[in-house]
Amino acid sequence: MRRLIFQEYVTLDGYAAGPDGGLEFFDTIAEQADVDNLALLEDVDTMLLGAETYRLFAAFWPTEAAAEEAIAPKLNALRLVVVSTTLDSAPWGAYEPGQVIRDLDGVRELKAEDGKDIILWGSITLFHSLLKVGLVDEVQLRVCPVLLGAGKPAFPSGGSPVDLELIEARPWSTGGVLLRYQPAS
């Protein structure tokens, strides 16, 4: 079975976006995170996104503006799968369009296919749903050395606790930290 890896940039106080949806805090660790992502993408062949994150990614990654980004060639070569009940298609610029699946059963089927790992970038609402039903195999946090005080939380509030086991904690020279967890057995 393929592994599903959730990856999110977060502030030290646990926000995935600022109060206005801003992501400027990513810049504090971008260079080191890109180096790590290039290595990670060697073991990934599928990118899973929710509809909102898909729209953000599709507006940037398959465009000329992203051409100079270190991870753009590998990211654009990934198989794209979008979980959405509203989208009928998932165009990706000049690249192969994405596949739209409607529900978590589609994610289960995706995980059962042969292939490399699956990366889930952002897509907080989808992450919460996948975590709740046990479909997330690894949680990767790229912690930015910033305190926002308010914004969009990266983690669900309420509900049952989810116990995690630390796989790796690696500080970066830029002040950020890579944290990797797996659900506890």
97-127 pLDDT tens trace:
999 999 999 999 999 999 999 999 989 889 9
- Whole-number Å distance between alpha carbons of 130 and 146: 27
> Do 141 and 172 touch, CB atoms closer than 8 A?
no
- Measured at the CA of 54, the angle between CA 34 and CA 165, to 5 degrees, comes to 55
**26-30, 46-50, 158-162: lowest mean pLDDT where?**
26-30
At 156 the pLDDT is: 74
Domains of the chain: 4-183 (3.40.430.10)
Model confidence at 90, pLDDT cuts 50, 70, 90, reads very high
pTM above 0.75, yes or no: yes
Residue 26 pLDDT more than 80? Answer: no
pLDDT of res. 162: 86
Whether residue 32 is predicted with pLDDT greater than 80 in this model: the reply is: no
Of 15-24, 50-59, 100-109, 154-163, the one with minimum mean pLDDT is 154-163
